[in-house]
Each structure stands twice: as structure tokens, then as C-alpha cells.
Amino acid sequence: MADRKLPKHIDQLDAALHQVQQSLGPILSQPLSETLPRLSAIERCELEALIVYAIDTLFWIYLKINGVPPKEHPVMNELQRVQRYIAKVNKAKGVDEKKDERTMRVDREAADRFIKNAISSASTEKK
């Protein structure tokens, strides 16, 4: 039964990874040395935080897929550090965190779905 679900899970993981590539593609299509000078200081902070957060999140997923408890790994501290940095950037922009809480929750739900999909695909693949 698990063998029948495997192609579906692989397709879902492939689609999720394709979505990540599409989202990060415009940002990473040109060298940061060309992109950063065109941005304001606050936009540079946002972009750098986005890149670091995306890399750390993908590494967290990699650990989870391979059975390493990510909550005990230093990447968790790094994710929390970047989240604090993002909060500081938002504060500097004057973004009301209470007002944006709904948007952040939706993003987390999407990330949770992506992670659960990746984990279920990987564990099905290992069996």
C-alpha cells in the first residue's frame, strides 16, 4: 500500500521544491553584488534575512528527513536568531506585528504543510 502512495508523495515533494525554486529564482538569478546596491538599507536587511531563513529552513527539513532531531541541532538556534532579526527589521519599518500576525500565521501553515509533505515523502521513500 505504501508503494502505491510513493509516486504521489514524490510528485508532491517535487512540486513543493519547484515552488521554492520559483520563489527564490528571481532573487538568486543575479549575483547579490549586483542586487544589493540597488536596494535601500531596509530592503537589503529584508533580503539577507530572507535568504538566510530560507537556507536554514531547507537545512532543517533536510535534517528532519534524515531522522536527525532538528530541535536539538544548532540550526534551531540560528532560525530563532534570524526570526529575532526579522522582528527587528519589521520594527524598524514600523510594521505592527499584531496587524501582520494573520499573514505570518498563514505563512507558517504553508511551511508546515511543505515540511510535513517532505517528511512523509522521505519516510515513505525509505521504506
33 located within any domain = no
**What is the domain range of residue 114?**
2-27+40-126
When pLDDT is averaged across residues 76-100 and rounded to a whole number, the result is 83
Give residue 107's pLDDT. Answer: 65
User: Number of folded domains in the chain?
Assistant: 1
14 located within any domain = yes
> pTM of the predicted model, to two decimals?
0.62
59 located within any domain = yes
Exposure class string for 92-125: b at 16+ Cβ within 10 A, else e: eeeeeeeeeeeeeeeeeeeeeebbebbbebbebe
48 located within any domain = yes
34 located within any domain = no
Q: Is the pLDDT of residue 100 over 60?
A: no
Closest CA to 89 of 38, 42, 44: 42
10 located within any domain = yes
109 located within any domain = yes
32 located within any domain = no
Read off the C-alpha cell for 99. Answer: 496587524
